[in-house]
Chains A and B, each alone.
Chain A
């Protein structure tokens, strides 16, 4: 075992983690721990763009952007946070450009902008061109640019270091951050990192579902680590299903395709979004489009041999436009479905995409341990955090914005915190918990296999906790997940080596996934309304009287050692926009 000491430790090297590292490493001694090589992070898979009211191509301002974000989030957005994000969006984009990001350009040489779902002019009048983009590779460019600037600044990375525990030291004022414990994949060694500040930027947990746009490695580790240490997770029932995943595969096709003029059609070729969102049609927010697609399929208007998907139609767009602005998704359709979007309709269906919920933070990215108190020295940013700027449904492009705005804030806040305080003592037996976790799996002789449990979890979640949910399906999912958690106790791994033991790593990841799956289902069961990404068939309407509040889920361990989820609630911050009916 080795011990390292830093001022700031950042967990995760995706967009948020590296944006934080760029700020923090200028001010304090910083290490970035990542379970992958930085450029493998899933920020790179984001495609369409990053919204900011630059007004480069048409009139726009950040207040309209704020309104869209709040309305898009079905009024569950904390409005002070949305204001911060949309206001700082402009500088976030300009900063990236100055770091070298190759945005597409207007004829005048400015950053070009395009339309995106839910982003409108003057509070919903019409779609506005707000998304700054680099073809359909915006996330890839952001990830590469941030990594390049980390090289420029000589940021210290620990690649393939998998963080498995958060160290909190109890003081009179409550828990204080002491560091993290990490497992080095290459050697199997345990490393303790002492730090004054820790930033979690570990991304989402899409692998809870089978059909997902998420990477194999998006297993919610950061959220799971925090949750197991007693930190609540906020709004876990709100998970976004992106409308246009390649049917059956889940590979993402950007909303930018519709921003460029693409149209969704059912089996008979009807542009069905006209019925659901008469004003902005195909550019309605993702939750509405996904629900509409599922309804079309259920009512028998789906396409294909099983009538189980709809079409994305780009055939009316000029070939040059498709190839210049949507090259990657064109290639995905060709490679994985053998369909050429230039001449053919592309089969699409919703795919699990983004966690609106996560580790609760305030607008300074400080992690909350309940509704009011922060944990000194602990920060979170990006998809793993819940500020909450996305509320019940994130608007397209706002995730790339989130990671840049709040990643930057986290980096600054963490470094400033580290400058003001000293290291606290490590809790007793700091690595003990992690060593026990690893050893238990390594020495297990049970008969359960990781892949089988994971597949069963994903199948029940796809079937019972997807776009539409009911009491019955959720109860089914809960029962299934709890049974899987029981079986997980006797999961065994086959790789008995210590070096690059990915078998072990996947077993640990599955543990986090099961925890998070249960949290999603429990939160969803208790939220008896439909709002944004959470659609209950048995409660089809939004209920602002009873549910205009964030869910806070705590891990509760009873006297008998049995753990259970305890739900509490947190009020939504409302500044200037009162909830109203959501129409597009």
Chain B
């Protein structure tokens, strides 16, 4: 593969980029602190590339989760320059590199180490809204029929990768860990508006609780944070509307 080995004609230039990273080693640190690292990066490199470089070449103890590396698995949600994003979907060229780029763990979940938080409360909330198809009556031999319009009705919610960017950007969730949070509500919404589903009543009942949709203040942080472009706040509002029209 000689063609692959040729030197690039116009090689993009790597620039030194400084990262200011939240560090906390539970066994050695009494409390979290910041550390700065500088690595050479191309404008098209991802923040994840930078973290990999720092871990591989400077400090192997830097800890973060990652898997797919292209925004599908939802492992590497973190706060980059104060905004919740996926490190693998944030490119260096979209950040201001004249100042250090801050990288912190997502807020509102218990901190475990460096950029790793305990995801269990997040998944507990997800589990508690019954995020699965509930049907009644006889099961058909073939598939259940569903029109393309009915399928499109809940499409937005099906894109969710459970990265927790939305839930951990919500100011209500930061102070009240009992709130279900946007991601769980999106999951409920996805089934409530699925024409094949008959469990809407039960899910609405759950979301009508004290810690349900009524805690939402429509700050739109969740919609801004979603790396999949889901209109999260709209999904929450749809559930509120369904609750109101169910009562009246």
Contact = CB atoms under 8 A, between A and B. Distances in A.
A437 interface: no
B155 interface: yes
B145 interface: yes
B158 A141 contact: yes
Contacts of B14: none
Contacts of A137: 158-159
Interface in B50-92: 52, 55-57, 59-61, 63-75, 89, 91
B146 A39 contact: no
Contacts of A144: 158, 160
Contacts of A337: 44
A108 B9 contact: no
A502 B65 CA distance: 8
Contacts of A335: 71, 89, 91
Contacts of A126: none
A297 B3 contact: yes
Nearest to B61: A495
A42 B71 contact: no
Interface string B116-150: 10010001000100111101000100111111100
A558 interface: no
A449 B27 contact: no
Contacts of A76: none
Given A102-B194, A495-B63, A151 B143 contact: no
A294 B1 contact: yes
A262 interface: no
Interface residues of A, number: 72
Given A144-B158, A499-B27, A215 B145 contact: no
B148 A105 contact: yes
B147 A42 contact: no
A524 interface: no
Interface in A85-115: 93-94, 97-100, 102-111
Contacts of A100: 132-133, 191, 194, 196-197
- B68, B69, B127: most-surrounded residue (chain A CB, <10 A): B68
A238 B27 CA distance: 44
Nearest to B145: A109
A494 B61 contact: yes
A437 B10 CA distance: 46
A202 B2 CA distance: 35
Contact of B73 (A102, A215, A308, A328): A215
A584 B146 CA distance: 36
B38 interface: no
Interface residues of B, number: 68
A502 B25 CA distance: 12
B222 to A, nearest CB: 18
A134 interface: yes
A481 to B, nearest CB: 18
B112 A102 contact: no
Contacts of A497: 25-28, 61, 113
Contacts, number: 183
Interface in B1-20: 1-6, 8-10
B8 A107 contact: no
Given A39-B162, A306-B9, A463-B1, A494 B67 contact: no
A449 to B, nearest CB: 7
Interface string B154-187: 1100111110000000000000000000000000
A36 B75 contact: yes
A390 interface: no
Given A105-B146, A216-B66, A37 B55 contact: no
A149 B132 contact: yes
A37 B119 contact: yes
A186 B110 CA distance: 13
B217 interface: no
Nearest to A454: B56
Interface string A12-47: 000000000000000000000000110111101100
B234 interface: no
Contacts of A216: 66-69
A170 to B, nearest CB: 37
A493 B60 contact: yes
Nearest to B190: A102
Given A37-B123, A45-B72, A494-B60, A308 B6 contact: yes
A141 B3 CA distance: 38
Contacts of B68: 40, 42, 44-45, 215-216
A451 B52 CA distance: 9
B196 A215 contact: no
A105 B151 contact: yes
Nearest to A328: B72
A186 B111 CA distance: 12
A77 B26 CA distance: 51
Contacts of B146: 105, 109
- A450, A498, A500: most-surrounded residue (chain B CB, <10 A): A500
A336 B44 contact: yes
A332 interface: yes
Contacts of B60: 449-451, 493-495, 503
Contacts of A40: 65, 67-68, 73-75
Nearest to B53: A451
B194 to A, nearest CB: 7
Interface in A196-226: 215-217
Contact of A305 (B8, B67, B127, B159): B8
- B27, B67, B151: most-surrounded residue (chain A CB, <10 A): B67
Nearest to B157: A102
B35 to A, nearest CB: 14
Given A39-B73, A111-B143, A215-B73, A306 B132 contact: no
Contacts of B67: 36, 40, 42, 215-217
Nearest to A56: B143
Contacts of A108: 145
A298 interface: yes
- Sorted nearest first, the 9 A-B pairs with minimum C-beta distance are A451-B56, A100-B133, A494-B60, A109-B145, A495-B61, A305-B9, A148-B132, A152-B132, A40-B73
27 contacts: A42-B73, A44-B72, A44-B73, A99-B132, A102-B151, A102-B155, A102-B194, A103-B143, A109-B146, A137-B158, A148-B131, A216-B66, A217-B66, A298-B2, A306-B9, A308-B3, A332-B71, A449-B60, A451-B55, A463-B1, A494-B60, A497-B113, A499-B26, A500-B116, A501-B63, A502-B63, A502-B64
Given A45-B72, A493-B60, 17 more contacts: A45-B73, A98-B143, A98-B144, A137-B158, A137-B159, A140-B161, A148-B131, A151-B127, A151-B132, A186-B112, A216-B67, A216-B69, A450-B56, A451-B60, A463-B1, A497-B61, A499-B113
Interface of B: 1-6, 8-10, 25-28, 44, 52, 55-57, 59-61, 63-75, 89, 91, 112-114, 116, 119, 123, 127, 130-133, 135, 139, 142-148, 151, 154-155, 158-162, 191, 194, 196-197
Interface of A: 36-37, 39-42, 44-45, 93-94, 97-100, 102-111, 134, 137, 140-141, 144, 148-149, 151-152, 186, 215-217, 251, 294, 297-298, 300, 302, 305-308, 328, 332, 335-338, 449-452, 455, 463, 466, 468, 493-503
